[in-house]
Structure 1
Amino acid sequence: MSKRATFQHSRRPSVSRVRGAVVAAGLGTTMVLGAGAAFAAGAAASAPDAAGLVNTAAAESVAKQATVQGKAAQVAKQAVAKKAAEAKKAAKKAARLATSWEAPVSHYTLSASFGNDGSRWAHKHSGQDFAVPIGTRVEAAHSGVVVKAGPNGGGDGPAYGNAIVIKHSNGMYSQYAHLSQINVRIGQAVQTGEKIALSGNTGNSSGPHLHFEIRHTANYGSAVNPVMFLHKEGVTV
C-alpha cells in the first residue's frame, strides 16, 4: 500500500465512531424532549388548580361587594325612614301649634286683671297683666299674622307703649303691650310659641309687666276677658 492511500485512510472516521455519535445525539434529543414533555404535563396538571383559585377569588370579591352594597342599602333605608319620621313629627307639631293656644310669657305673676278699676287707665282694665322682669321673652299666644307693631300702642294710643296685635284664623286678635323690644313686623306670619318681643315698662306703666288682651277686632275697645278665653282653649294661667 502506498503512503498516499495510507494517509487518506487515516482521515476517514471509523464506522463505529460515527454510529456512536449518532446514538449519543439521539439520546440527548430524547432527554431534551422528555424534559419538555414533563414540563408541559406539569403545567397542564396545574392549570385546573389555577383556574379554581381565580374563580374562588372572583366569588369572594362578588360576595364582599354584595355585603358592602347591602350595608349601604340598609343605611340608606334607615336614613329615609328617619327623615320620614322627622317629617311626620314636624307635621304633627305644626298641626298642634296651628290649633293650640298658650300663655304669652312663662314664670310670671298675675297682677291687674280684666275689668278692674285703676288709676292707670281711663276705663275698666281691658286685659290681663303678667308681672315679669324687663327683657322677658314674649311669645305669640297663637299662630296668626301681625297687623300692628310699633310705638304708640301700634296705633292704639301712647298708654300701651310699644305694642303688637296679631290676627288669628278664628277671627280673634291678641295684643301685647308695654314692650321694650319688638321682633316682628306688620304682615309677618307667626306660629304659636314664636318669640315676638321682649317685655318692658313703656307707655302708661307703673312697673315692668306685659299687658295682654284678646279682642274681637284689631282695635282698642273690643276686648274680652283673656283669662277666660284661654281657659276655654285649654290654657290655665
Structure 2
Amino acid sequence: MLTINVGTYNIAAGKLPDTQAINRLLRLNKLAVVGLQEVDQFTARNHYSMTSAIAEDTYHHFFTKAIDLERGTYGIALLSDQNIITPKYAAYHAYGLERQVWQKITYSLTTSLKIAIYNTHLSFENIQLRKQQVAELLMVLKNDPNPYKIILSDFNMDQNHDEWEPFKFSYILANGVQQWFETFNDRDENMNSYEIDNIILSKNLKLLNATEQPQILSDHNLLTAKICLNEFGLKNPSNTD
C-alpha cells in the first residue's frame, strides 16, 4: 500500500522556538512533507533562516514570503524529503493586517503518481476575510489539473466549525473526521474554537489516521496525517460536526 505521512505546524517564530527540537519532532513522526507557518527568515528576533535550521540535512525546503519583518522576511515554508522542482506560490487578493500567501509543490508517490501539496496560512481577523481566502484557494485547487491534492495549513478558523463547510463537498478534513483536535494550545478570549490547524485531502485519497503532538515548542501542536490512495471503492469517514 502506497502511503505518505504529512504534517502541518505553526512554529510561532515570535516565541523563538527551538529549531533543532522541531526537526527531531518531525523526524520522530517520519514525515515526508511538512507545511510550516509563521516562519522567520533573517529577522532581528531570529537572525537566521528558520527554514534551513529546521530542515537541517533531513529535508529540502521552499520558503515563501508573506511580509517584510524586522529587516528580514516572514511567511510560510514547505519541507520535503524529495527534491523540490517547479514550486509555485501566490498571494491572496484579500488579506488583513498581514498579506497571506499559498505555496505548492508536487510530490512523487511513484514515478507516475504525483500529489499536489499546498501550504497556506489564512487571516485571523474575521470570518468574512477567511471566506474570501477560502474561495480563492478553492478556485486555485479546482484549476489544478492534478487530481490528487493535500492542503496543509493554520486556517485560523476560530469561531465555529461551520467555517469548514466549503471544503466538505470535495475534500476530507483530517482534523474533524473522527474527532476534533484543539491544535492551538494557548487561550484567547476572542476565540470560540481552537481546532484551527488542518490537513485537507481530495476524496481520491484515504485518511488512515490523524494525530496531534502536544508540545511546548510552539503555541500550536503539530498535526499529522497518514494518507494513502483511496482505491477499490474505499470510502472516507464522514466529517463530524
Higher relative contact order (CA 8 A, sep 6+): 2
Q: Which has the higher strand share?
A: 2
Give the structure with higher Rg (CA): 1
Please report the TM-score for the alignment, with normalisation by the length of structure 1. Answer: 0.22
Please report the TM-score for the alignment, with normalisation by the length of structure 2. Answer: 0.22
Q: Which has the higher helix share?
A: 1
